[in-house]
A and B are shown apart, each in its own frame.
Chain A
């Protein structure tokens, strides 16, 4: 199993350009997440999905949109990129949540995005 994969690995955008980051998982997980990580900081949740066709806002959703058309894929879109969106983006997935236990989130390798 490849686990969680992300494409692309690196990208440079100019202010105002748009792009889509793709996340794919082959573990049949219901839940998927997008985080951003800025220098010297922990990860912050952008959007998440609790199943195919569902999406919800996380801690820092502004400027981003997401779609979960297929269970195995979770797309993160930037419609009009801004320098403040320069960051490393991580996708993660987990099984159905069970309040009697913590279900580990499996992370992808990340996408480094620079917005000029």
Chain B
């Protein structure tokens, strides 16, 4: 799983399988946790966010789970497609009451094999 301070982890899955990308965070004071996707040569793109008072949030083909007890965040991608291949970053927001300042993790490289 991903955590600030570790080398970039990688995840390889077969097309059609479900993917789970993990992230450990350190700051209990963060109000929001966000997942961004970055394709090669492009800027990050917002996927989904979850507020700290929630445990789960679903989007289109994606689900984010938040476990505050162990400070763990995960992104689940259903029926992974080749277009999902990218680096996925988790980010925290809301430290000190400013929910616009993002602190990014180092990212996980997802490779989808056809």
Contact = CB atoms under 8 A, between A and B. Distances in A.
Nearest to A104: B46
A90 B46 contact: no
Interface residues of A, number: 27
Q: Which range holds the interface residue count of chain B?
A: 20 to 34
B43 A102 contact: no
Interface string B94-114: 100111111111110000000
A40 B43 contact: no
Contacts of B94: 99
Q: Is the interface of A mostly helix, strand, loop or mixed?
A: loop
Contacts of A63: none
Contact of A108 (B43, B101, B105): B43
B101 to A, nearest CB: 6
Nearest to A95: B100
Interface of A: 4, 31, 33, 40-45, 48, 50, 58-59, 90, 92, 94, 97, 99, 102-110
29 contacts: A31-B100, A40-B8, A40-B106, A41-B107, A42-B89, A42-B91, A43-B104, A44-B104, A45-B101, A45-B102, A48-B101, A50-B100, A59-B103, A90-B43, A90-B44, A94-B100, A97-B99, A97-B100, A99-B94, A102-B31, A102-B49, A102-B51, A102-B93, A103-B100, A104-B46, A107-B44, A107-B45, A110-B41, A110-B43
